[in-house]
Amino acid sequence: MALSLPSLNGLRAFEAAARYLSFTRAADELNVTQTAISHQIRRLEEQLGLKLFVRRNRTLALTREAESYLPAVRAAFEDLRRATQRLKRPQRDGLLTVSTLASLAAKWLLPRVVAFQEAHPGLEVRVSASAHLVDFGREEIDMAVRYGRGDWPGLRADWLMAEDIFPVCSPALLNGPNPLKRPEDLAHHTLLHATLSRDDWQLWLTAAGLPTELAQRRGLTFDQSFMCIEAAIEGLGVALGRSPFVEADIAQGRLVVPFDVVLPAEAGYYIIAPEETADDPKIALFRDWLAKSVTPGAKAPPPAG
């Protein structure tokens, strides 16, 4: 026999009273009388067969059972709130909003969005650049491309591509006054840094067998990786390029790779979406398009470990 659920009004009264540890404040929030809150909680206690609150020196406290019960009650109300919010949203079947990092958007995603729009003119793609992990319950975001290990609870994560990290520079630096022929020649050049990946140069220098002090010399620092890449194209110094960000510039000759020392990344890029919407037709369509557009050789996921 199915277990009957307790009163919804009782659960709302319990959650509010537990949050404030006050029947009076709970009554104010729910726009009912304190007596009504007391009756609803008493009825809930009768339905559950246990006490939820105890009074101690004019203060209200949760019983051990109530403390254990409260997180699940709060989560249930939050799920209901989010589901109702999604239900009341206007239909957006013709709009797909994708969130990703600004550098990945500028150097990798946007050219693919243009090609996708030409192939699917009935679906408008909007790109939202942000560094934070999307709260799909509160934000008008359908899917995201994020860097990590694929372990985001409650979200479906589909592998997209790996990335290698290696120095890149303008072709002019190869044969300038201090030509770049060997990694040791970096001592005579400005290193370009991105704020969010400040340690990458030290890791690469270690892999190349060079002193990490080279990374601590005065250089140029930018907020975003794509700004580093643009500075390298202009010949302002040597940047550490991440393969998805620089593949187009290398192919078109704006950047060159002066050395063959490559630092493999320990994570990679994933396409993420809420589990309950990950197979929506518009999300699946764009996810498959992105996966097919990845450069061959960039598709292998990092080894598990």
Give domain status of residue 171, yes or no.
yes
75 belongs to a structural domain: yes
Instruction: Kindly state whether residues 107 and 153 are assigned to the same domain.
Output: yes
pLDDT of residue 3: 61
3, part of any domain: no
On whether both 209 and 135 belong to a single domain, the answer is: no
| Same domain, residue pair 168 and 260 | yes
Q: Mark whether 168 and 252 lie in a shared domain.
A: yes
* Selection from 38, 46, 48 nearest residue 73 by Cα: 48
End-to-end, the C-alpha distance of the chain in Å comes to 45
Flag whether 304 is in a domain: no
Single out the residue of 197, 186, 198 nearest to residue 237, CA to CA: 186
Q: What distances in angstroms separate CA 103 from CA 119, 200, 230, one per listed residue? A: 24, 16, 11
- Total domains in the chain come to 3
Query: Is 44 part of any domain?
Result: yes
Can you give the CATH number for the domain in which 148 is found?
3.40.190.10
Q: What pLDDT was estimated at residue 232?
A: 95
Please tell me the predicted confidence (pLDDT) of residue 137.
77
Tokens of 231: 């500075």
Structural domain including 171 reads: 164-264
The predicted structure's pLDDT at residue 305: 43
> Is 272 among the domain residues?
yes
Question: Which one of 40, 59, 88 terminates a domain?
Answer: 88
Beta-bridge partner residues of 61 = 54
Specify the pLDDT at position 4. 76
Give the pLDDT confidence score for residue 300 in this predicted structure: 52
Same domain, yes or no: 196 and 215? yes
> Of 40, 67, 88, which one is at a domain's C-terminal end?
88
Same domain, 235 and 258: yes
Which tokens is 281 given? 């037709």
Same domain, yes or no, for 259 and 169?
yes
Q: Do residue 84 and residue 100 come from a single domain?
A: no
Please say whether the beta carbons of 98 and 142 come within 8 A.
Answer: yes
Do residue 282 and residue 157 come from a single domain?
A: yes
Q: Within this chain, do residues 248 and 121 fall inside the same structural domain, yes or no?
A: no
For residues 275 and 250, state if they share a domain.
no
Q: Is 270 helix (H, G, I), strand (E, B) or coil?
A: strand
What's the CATH number where 48 sits? 1.10.10.10
pLDDT of residue 195: 79
Of the candidates 27, 55, 88, which is a domain's last residue?
88
pLDDT in tens, the chain (305 residues): 456 788 889 999 999 999 999 999 999 999 999 999 999 999 999 999 999 999 887 788 999 999 999 999 998 888 787 677 665 555 566 889 999 988 888 888 988 888 998 898 888 899 998 877 788 877 888 999 988 888 888 899 999 988 888 999 999 999 878 889 899 999 999 999 987 776 788 888 888 888 888 888 778 989 888 899 999 999 999 999 988 889 999 999 999 999 988 887 777 889 999 998 899 999 999 999 999 988 765 555 554 44
Judge if 111 and 58 occupy the same domain. no
